[in-house]
Amino acid sequence: MSLSPAFAAPAQASASPEKSSAGRLISLDIFRGLCVAGMILVDNPGNDDLAYGPIKHTVWNGWTPADLIFPSFMFLVGTSMVLSFQARLGRGESRGSIFRHALQRTLILIAIGLFINGFPVFHLANWRIEGVLQRIAVCYLAAGVFVLWQIGADSSPRLPCACSAIGR
């Protein structure tokens, strides 16, 4: 009995595990997946009245684990942006083209957020302009401008750490 090629033991990989992941930071991808799973769980708990307490947003005072999803995702956006912008600058892309791409991505996120918040009626009186995607877009653009300004010509940071500059 022989195995089909799909189930046969894989040949010894010539690339190391770090290179087989196409240069991606695995821990960042895992954290991103956990954040997205958390978003889905928090946004769709089933019956809001019977939902498990920690996946509900707090009314006003205090916090629950659900209130950590958005800041965690914004941390991921910033971390991914720095890694991506450094790699793109290292490949020779101009700051202008990276900024145009960030601006295009910002406008697309705002448009998607407006569409989702307006669907299906699109009545301007009930349209939520300051939705979550719009906030992510604005933060992405602001952080993108800062990161492009902060990364030096050799794609290394101009400041060793932004926190060290703030702490002095």
Q: Which residues are catalytic?
A: 57
A 10 A CB-CB count for 77 gives 15
C-alpha separations of 125 from 109, 111, 113, 118, 120 in Å: 21, 17, 16, 10, 14
Nearest CA to 132 out of 29, 39, 56 is that of 39
Q: Which residues of 86-109 are buried (b: 16+ CB within 10 A; e: fewer)?
A: bebbeeeeeeeebeeebeeebeeb
In whole angstroms, give the CA distance from residue 143 to residue 65: 25
Query: How many Cβ atoms sit within 10 Å of the Cβ of residue 72?
Result: 15
Cβ neighbours of residue 23 closer than 8 Å, sequence gap 6 or more: 87
**Chain centroid, CA 93 distance in Å:** 22
